[in-house]
């Protein structure tokens, strides 16, 4: 719960937008046109469950249609209301623009605690919600394409895709009506890990620039950095796993619903996740210090703090005690506008949500393109690529033998080099390229303009300029 002196989530997003827009010279009226949410559809529907009718409230908000389809996840949580969905839809617009994903912004939500219902019940609720949205074209491959968000996963996306297919029997592109589907239902390799992988690529790119690292009062590489992560859901788990396994970071704290665990030597993410799945919490994880007031761990000493659960967790009530010099917003809106201002004053560097967690929608875009092209990425070129690599290696070996040069390829090289890229490698490469490109666009504004105090404002400036350019192209 936010203190009464804090703006709402949607107001927070608007405040951040306004700060950036004030630094731009937009034609009169265009600023407001970009900021406002175009429409929000509210649906109340009943489903007969456990012998009685239960009424659910769902939303689908379309923030901007400067590009179509519009895109954004569907969230199942008790926090879902119009304000939250509109804030999240606005963030989708700016996020897509920043990472050059050709979609407008949208978001949906159902006010429900998904843990209260069993799988069969959730399927009936989801299909009914999807039915309401599909019949109004609020789920449609060319107009509005949902994806997973908090409380939903591949499973719900498969139900939605199937519901759409049943209602649009002649639509050859039916599978493109939703992304984040399981692989066997038209999904793409690497979508589940995508947001966490994007966090890793974002941090790697940040650490490629010593000047930026110094602004966060840090130095050196990612290796050995102490990380506290809040939320070990899909995003937090993958980010923590990749950063500890591939980049030698130390996950010194993990915050979950039932408390937090600490280990200065680094927590084994995979085992913590298994414990969480088994017991429903982190409490009792062997060998780690347990803290019952989990949220207090947000203010513990660390190099990088990664809030990866929900909005508003860093707010006016705790911001003064935050010690991390670098915060990566893996969640959407984890820092309120008020807290953002305090952190700026303290010199904390924030890698903002619209960039940091854009990996999910980026790979959703790849999935949508795959669905429209009806072919797996890499299917045509993989073996051809391998054949050409073989040719080169054989030629090198022949030259070495003929001329008695005695060249030997280093161990593992041949195997790695000869392998043609499959879908997963291509998706990761496209995601890496996207994250690097977006960081550089943001950075150019951050370092290049004296009136831009932080990466968030820089990110908004890049995004707003791009949205404004497409409105101009539309003649507005």
Omega before residue 305 within 30° of 0, cis = no
Contacts of 145 (CB under 8 A, 6+ apart): 69, 70, 71, 103, 139, 176, 177, 178, 179, 364, 368
Stretch that binds ligand GLU, among 56-64, 70-78, 123-131, 254-262 (CB under 6 A): 70-78
Among 360, 366, 427, 428, binds ligand GLU (CB under 6 A): 360
CA gap 231, 310 in Å, rounded: 8
Over the window 165 to 194, marking each residue x when it contacts ligand GLU by CB under 6 A and - when it does not, the resulting string is --------------x---------------
In sequence order, what E strands does 296-426 have?
Answer: 304-307, 326-328, 349-351
Q: Give alpha helix (H) positions in 227-327.
A: 234-247, 269-279
Query: What minimum distance in Å lies between the beta carbon of 432 and ligand GLU?
Result: 17
How far apart are CB 452 and ligand GLU at their closest, in Å? Answer: 24
| Secondary structure string (H, E, C) spanning 421-457 | CCHHHHHHHHHHHHHHHHHHHHHHHHHHCCCCCCHHH
Contact 134, 167 (CB under 8 A): yes
In the complex, least distance from residue 349 CB atom to ligand GLU, rounded to whole angstroms: 22
From the list 332, 336, 348, 434, which residue makes contact with ligand GLU (rule: CB under 6 A)? 332
Q: Which stretch binds ligand GLU (CB under 6 A): 5-13, 66-74, 113-121, 385-393?
A: 66-74
Question: Alpha-carbon distance 133 to 140, whole Å?
Answer: 9
Q: Which residue stretch of 47-55, 202-210, 354-362, 373-381 sits at the interface with ligand GLU (rule: CB under 6 A)? A: 354-362
Tokens of 124: 């009936």
Smallest separation (angstroms) from ligand GLU to the CB of 221 = 28
Q: Which two tokens stand for residue 447?
A: 């370092």
Q: Which CB atom, from 291 or from 462, has the smaller least distance to ligand GLU?
A: 462
Q: Does 8 bind ligand GLU (CB under 6 A)?
A: no
Please enumerate in sequence order all residues whose Cβ is within 8 A of that of 144, keeping only pairs 6 or more positions apart, or say none.
60, 62, 69, 70, 71, 106, 133, 137, 138
72 binds ligand GLU (CB under 6 A): yes
Work out the angle at residue 434's Cα, subtended by the Cα atoms of residues 441 and 217, and round it to the nearest 5 degrees.
55
69 binds ligand GLU (CB under 6 A): no
**Binding residue count for ligand GLU, defined by CB under 6 A:** 11
The residue (of 126 and 364) whose beta carbon lies closer to ligand GLU is: 364
Residue numbers annotated as active site: 107
Which residues in the 262-291 window bind ligand GLU by CB under 6 A?
none
Q: Contact region for ligand GLU (CB under 6 A) — 65-73, 118-126, 409-417, 436-444?
A: 65-73
Instruction: Using CB positions, name the residue nearest to ligand GLU.
Output: 73
Euclidean distance between CA atoms 103 and 106, whole angstroms:
9
Those residues with Cβ within 8 angstroms of residue 413's Cβ, 6 or more apart along the chain or in another chain: none
Residue number, 281 or 437, with CB nearest to ligand GLU: 437
CB of 294 to ligand GLU, least distance (A): 23
Q: Crossing angle of helices 154-167/119-134, nearest 10°? A: 50
- Decide whether 303 or 423 has the Cβ nearer to ligand GLU: 423
Residue 375's CB: how many other CB atoms inside 10 A?
A: 10
Structure tokens at 127: 């299909």
Window contacting ligand GLU (CB under 6 A); options: 32-40, 53-61, 118-126, 360-368: 360-368
Q: Applying CB under 6 A, does 73 fall inside the site for ligand GLU?
A: yes
Smallest distance, ligand GLU to C-beta of residue 334, A: 12
- Of 137-156, binders to ligand GLU (CB under 6 A) are 147, 149
Nearest-approach distance from CB 4 to ligand GLU, in angstroms? 27
From candidates 140, 200, 244, 364, binder to ligand GLU by CB under 6 A: 364
Among the candidate windows 1-9, 69-77, 164-172, 198-206, which touches ligand GLU by CB under 6 A? 69-77
Coil, strand, or helix at residue 297? helix
- Is 71 near ligand GLU (CB under 6 A)? yes
Residue whose CB is less far from ligand GLU, 156 or 303: 156
> Distance (Å, rounded) from C-alpha 267 to C-alpha 262?
8
Contact at 8 Å (CB) between 101 and 71?
yes
Phi, psi of 58 (to 5 degrees): -125, 160
In the complex, the smallest distance separating the C-beta of residue 415 from ligand GLU, rounded to whole angstroms, is: 34
> Distance (Å, rounded) from C-alpha 366 to C-alpha 378?
12
64 lines the binding site for ligand GLU (CB under 6 A): no
> Nearest distance from residue 270's CB to ligand GLU, in Å?
24
Closer CB to ligand GLU, residue 71 or residue 175? 71
Residues in contact with ligand GLU by CB under 6 A are 71-73, 147, 149, 179, 332, 357, 360-361, 364
């Amino acid at each position: 719960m936010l203190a009464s002196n804090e703006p709402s989530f949607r107001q927070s997003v608007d405040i951040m937008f306004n700060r950036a827009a004030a630094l731009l010279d937009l034609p009169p009226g265009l600023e407001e046109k970009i900021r406002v949410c175009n429409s929000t559809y509210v649906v109340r529907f009943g489903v007969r469950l456990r012998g009685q009718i239960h009424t659910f409230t769902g939303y689908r908000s379309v923030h901007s249609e400067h590009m179509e389809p519009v895109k954004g996840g569907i969230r199942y949580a008790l926090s879902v209301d119009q304000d939250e969905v509109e804030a999240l839809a606005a963030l989708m617009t700016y996020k897509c623009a920043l990472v050059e994903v050709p979609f407008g912004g949208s978001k949906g939500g159902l006010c429900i605690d998904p843990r209260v219902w069993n799988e069969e019940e959730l399927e009936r609720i989801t299909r009914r919600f999807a039915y309401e949205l599909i019949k109004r074209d609020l789920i449609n491959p060319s107009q509005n394409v949902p994806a997973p968000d908090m409380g939903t996963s591949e499973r719900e996306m498969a139900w939605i895709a199937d519901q759409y297919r049943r209602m649009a029997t002649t639509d050859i592109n039916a599978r493109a009506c939703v992304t984040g589907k399981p692989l066997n239902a038209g999904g793409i390799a690497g979508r589940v890990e995508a947001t966490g992988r994007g966090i890793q690529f974002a941090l790697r790119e940040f650490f490629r620039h010593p000047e930026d690292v110094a602004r966060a009062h840090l130095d050196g590489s990612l290796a050995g950095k102490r990380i506290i992560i809040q939320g070990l859901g899909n995003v937090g788990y993958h980010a923590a796993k990749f950063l500890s396994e591939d980049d030698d970071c130390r996950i010194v704290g993990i915050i979950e619903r039932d408390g937090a665990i600490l280990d200065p030597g680094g927590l084994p993410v995979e085992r913590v996740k298994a414990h969480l799945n088994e017991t429903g919490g982190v409490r009792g994880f062997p060998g780690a210090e347990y803290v019952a007031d989990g949220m207090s761990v947000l203010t513990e000493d660390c190099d990088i703090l990664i809030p990866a659960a929900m909005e508003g967790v860093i707010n006016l009530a705790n911001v003064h005690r935050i010690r991390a010099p670098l915060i990566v917003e893996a969640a959407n809106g984890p820092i309120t506008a008020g807290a953002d201002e305090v952190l700026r004053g303290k010199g904390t560097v924030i890698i903002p949500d619209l960039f940091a967690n854009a990996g999910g929608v980026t790979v959703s875009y790849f999935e949508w393109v795959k669905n429209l092209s009806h072919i797996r990425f890499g299917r045509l070129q993989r073996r051809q690529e391998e054949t050409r690599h073989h040719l080169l290696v054989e030629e090198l070996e022949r030259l070495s033998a003929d001329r008695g040069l005695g060249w030997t390829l280093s161990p593992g090289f041949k195997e790695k080099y000869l392998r043609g890229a499959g879908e997963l490698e291509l998706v990761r490469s496209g995601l890496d390229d996207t994250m690097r490109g977006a960081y550089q666009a943001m950075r150019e504004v951050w370092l290049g303009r004296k009136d831009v105090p932080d990466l968030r404002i820089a990110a908004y400036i890049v995004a707003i300029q791009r949205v404004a350019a497409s409105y101009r192209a539309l003649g507005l």
